[in-house]
Structure 1
Amino acid sequence: MKPSRSEFITVRGLRSHVRQWGREGAPKIFMVHGWMDVAASFQFVVDCLEGDWHVIAPDWRGFGLSERSASDTYWFPDYVADLEFILDHYAPGGQINLLGHSMGGNVVSLYAGVRPERIRRLVNLEGFGMPVSNPSQAPRRYAKWLDALREPTELRSYPSLEAVAARLQKTNPRLSDARAEFLSRHWSAPNADGRWEILGDPAHKRPTPLLYQVEEVLACWDAITAPVLWVEADDTNMWQWMGPKEQARVEIDRRLAHLASVTPKMMADAGHMLHHDQPEALAAMLEDFLAE
């Protein structure tokens, strides 16, 4: 494995962990992870990169080794703002290469429309977005959020690292023993009772009171000027959030049509965690795209 190094910086008042690989001064690739994941998740892809790169990957607020929010709710625009502060810290001038997976894919795509001049190349890994919402859902959504605030939240703990690895493999059967063992050491930490806790704020489990405004999101996508590499996994289940597969395909393609310059790719023999399942293929795809 290529060695990584950790650094802590202050991002909007929170102590935030950033993992880096590669040579200082080499071309940069920023990689941001998805929900309930950590920056170390990109290790396998980084290992497969053949070029001279400086990869910079933060743990989002409330995940991994980054500090948790003082609020009882995580607001999606905060991720967009945190990303800008991180980019300003590591690449204050010029355009950058930006990659995001899942939730991170949604964040980077929003950001690329808000700050199009900052992006050289954009890579979205399975960042489909959420289902279309309707204003009539708002009262029930707010009530659900208020009810959830009254209940304590917690994440399951595990008796050993081996149990954490087994949990990861249950979610992703393609994950090898070696990769599951590596991820378990970065995805969890021992608590005072000697059990292993997931490195994520339990508050992430609470519902948000805000409806997903897809047309606002697509307005941001319309403003993206950088070329976009859009990668889906052929065995993903993310489309289920949008209904039956045929219906979901229509909606996903509608959203893709808002990207002015997009290269869609389908990753064979991979699920939603495609950067774990096919890191060699993804690394080759990424370097080909960045070299264009």
Structure 2
Amino acid sequence: MRSPCSAKDHLLDLDGIEIAVRTWGPEDGIPVLALHGWLDNAASFERLAPLLDGCFVVAPDLVGHGRSDHRRHDSGYYLWEHAEDMLAVTDSLGLGQFHVLAHGMGSGIASLLAAMTSGIASMIFLDGMGAPFTVAEDDRVQHLARAYRLKRMVRRSQLQGFAEPDVSRFDSIDAALLQSRQRLDGELSEAAARLLGSRDLLQVGDGYCWRHDPRLALPEPMPLTEREACELLSEIRCPLYLMFGRQGAFNGSGFEQRKAALPGHAKVSWHPGGHHFHLEAPDRALVDQILRILARHEGGALQRLVNE
């Protein structure tokens, strides 16, 4: 394996919204759009992307996450809006055709992208199976009402994270990282949490606060229904590969609940680790499998690299 390539950071201005993008690899390499999960950021691929020899990995911070701008206060965060943002990113970078590597919630965004563009050469889901947050068909109106009541409540009460943005929340980085790990029930190691946190923490005076928009923790007023999420999965026409952590989010009934929605050409594999197995310790087997998939659906120089 070649020496891991270094990362580069970019800022893209898309209709007045600034999106932070981290890239790895040569710009003439195989284009891979890397989509992180909920409340994560581009650092989710900090350990995996440098190992993908011959690839140009593009990992944006989704709007509201990491170092990207937040949406206006009269807007929200919907998967289809993230999908539109990602199409704008690929258009801005001149990527007519690209592969998608999506983790967690990113796989929900990817399932929408598949319906919006024919420019996707292949998709790899990392411990993701489409839209993670859905609502029952008969609960949509009640869910909408609850979501708006909660939104008004947090604004009035100024709960943690919803006060003025320049007010520090944590006395130390360690205190912030502890909160982040507790959100994931300790599934994320301290080292992995530090990688994500370093891109999402802002120093304010003697303390720290999260950069991401606290509204991300609120439920979407109009999320996809489970039927819609399954329909989006079933309609994916490009090659689709799902890689799950054996101790991840789908090690129980989650996989079985959506298994029937997968298109017939989808291929499933299981890997050591939890929900962030790609960040914790991407092993040689995982890297080789991803490279083989990209080579199979791209050809050219990468195919020769894998053969060598």
TM more than 0.5: yes
| 1:38 aligned partner, one-letter code | N
- 1:218–1:255 CA contact under 8 A, matched in 2: yes
| 2:124 aligned partner, one-letter code | V
Summarize deviations over 1:178-223 as a string: whole Å, max 9, x none.
Answer: 44433331131112x4222122101112222214223333333333
Of 230, 238, 241, the residue aligned with 1:229 is 241
- 1:29–1:56 CA contact under 8 A, matched in 2: yes
> Which residue is equivalent to 1:242?
none
- Tell me, what secondary structure is at the counterpart of 1:29? strand
Of 76, 79, 101, the residue aligned with 1:76 is 79
Distance 1:92 1:105 in 2: 19
1:47 and 1:164, CA in 2 relative to 1: closer, same or farther beyond 3 A?
farther
Distance 1:237 1:283 in 2: 21
> Which residue is equivalent to 2:303?
none
1:182 is aligned to 2:209? no
Distance 2:290 2:241 in 1: 8
1:196 and 1:18, CA in 2 relative to 1: closer, same or farther beyond 3 A?
same
Of 182, 191, 202, the residue aligned with 2:214 is 202
Distance 1:88 1:254 in 2: 33
Superposed displacement of residue 167, structure 1: 4.2
> Which residue is equivalent to 1:24?
27
**Following superposition of structure 1 onto structure 2, how do residues 1-150 of structure 1 map, counting pairs within 5 Å?**
2-49=5-52, 51-70=53-72, 71-93=74-96, 95-115=97-117, 117-128=118-129, 129-130=131-132, 133-150=135-152
Higher mean C-alpha displacement, 14-23 vs 120-129: 120-129
TM-score (structure 2 length as normaliser): 0.81
- Tell me, what secondary structure is at the counterpart of 1:157? coil
Distance 1:6 1:175 in 2: 24
Distance 2:186 2:290 in 1: 24
- 2:105–2:132 CA contact under 8 A, matched in 1: no
Higher mean C-alpha displacement, 6-15 vs 126-135: 126-135
> Which residue is equivalent to 1:276?
279
What number of residue pairs does the alignment pair up? 279
- 1:122–1:229 CA contact under 8 A, matched in 2: yes
Superposed displacement of residue 99, structure 1: 1.1
Gaps of 5+ in 2: 162-167, 297-308
1:215 and 1:232, CA in 2 relative to 1: closer, same or farther beyond 3 A?
same
1:206 and 1:72, CA in 2 relative to 1: closer, same or farther beyond 3 A?
farther
TM-score (structure 1 length as normaliser): 0.85
Summarize deviations over 1:255-276 as a string: whole Å, max 9, x none.
Answer: 22xx2421101112x1111212
Of 235, 258, 263, the residue aligned with 1:252 is 258
Superposed displacement of residue 168, structure 1: 4.6
- Tell me, what secondary structure is at the counterpart of 2:54? coil
- 2:114–2:236 CA contact under 8 A, matched in 1: yes
> Which residue is equivalent to 1:217?
229
- 1:113–1:222 CA contact under 8 A, matched in 2: no
| 1:43 aligned partner, one-letter code | E
User: CA-atom RMSD, angstroms?
Assistant: 2.4
Distance 2:256 2:193 in 1: 35
Superposed displacement of residue 111, structure 1: 0.9
Distance 1:213 1:202 in 2: 24
Summarize deviations over 1:8-36 as a string: whole Å, max 9, x none.
Answer: 11224311111111112112111011110
Distance 2:190 2:104 in 1: 23
- 2:42–2:59 CA contact under 8 A, matched in 1: yes
